[in-house]
Amino acid sequence: MSVIVGYIPTREGRAALRAARAEALLRETKLIVVNSHRGGRDFDAVEAQRFEEELTTVQHDLDEAGIQHEVRALVRGNEPAEDLVQVADESDGMLIVIGLRRRTPIGKLILGSNAQRILLEATCPVLAVKAGEDD
């Protein structure tokens, strides 16, 4: 059993990671941090290096906190929603944690496509969190 978090280095990603850490500690289970990219032209070597450095920092912080964890950087052409649901299924996930960003009034009518797919396709509960002022 594990808690899975979709992580990108944004305010929303940090909020999701913070909530996922708390859930993993509460449930006394492993935390799997998933950073998923489709790849392609928008994901160049500089971007890849920046994300790798960020994930190294995340891994170091989790090591220091004594949280059993695994960090997966996935660049295999999938949408992030597909990767998160697949990792949850493969690892007997008990919870997926995602971050949501604030939306305009019109944007509130349409939930983000990745968030919507995760909520609809996940076979385990999904916790969606918003970034706070400290994120």
Per-residue pLDDT tens for 21-66?
A: 999 999 999 999 999 877 655 666 777 788 788 899 999 999 999 9
- Are 38 and 79 in contact, with CB atoms under 8 Å apart? yes
Q: Does the residue 92 lie in any domain?
A: yes
The answer to whether residues 94 and 135 belong to one domain is yes
- Tell whether pTM > 0.75: yes
The answer to whether residues 95 and 58 belong to one domain is no
Please tell me whether residue 96 adopts helix, strand or coil conformation. Answer: strand
The answer to whether residues 135 and 91 belong to one domain is yes
Please tell me whether residue 128 adopts helix, strand or coil conformation. Answer: strand
The answer to whether residues 93 and 133 belong to one domain is yes
Domain tally, the chain: 2
Structural domain boundaries enclosing 58: 33-76
Residues 6+ apart with CB under 8 A from 27: 1, 3, 94, 95
As a whole number of angstroms, the distance between CA 123 and CA 93 comes to 9
As a whole number of angstroms, the distance between CA 55 and CA 49 comes to 10
The answer to whether residues 93 and 61 belong to one domain is no
Q: Does the residue 28 lie in any domain?
A: no
- Are 10 and 54 in contact, with CB atoms under 8 Å apart? no
Band the pLDDT of 106: cuts 50, 70, 90: low
Residues of the chain above pLDDT 70, percent:
87
The answer to whether residues 69 and 98 belong to one domain is no
The answer to whether residues 131 and 97 belong to one domain is yes
The answer to whether residues 92 and 135 belong to one domain is yes
Q: Does the residue 43 lie in any domain?
A: yes
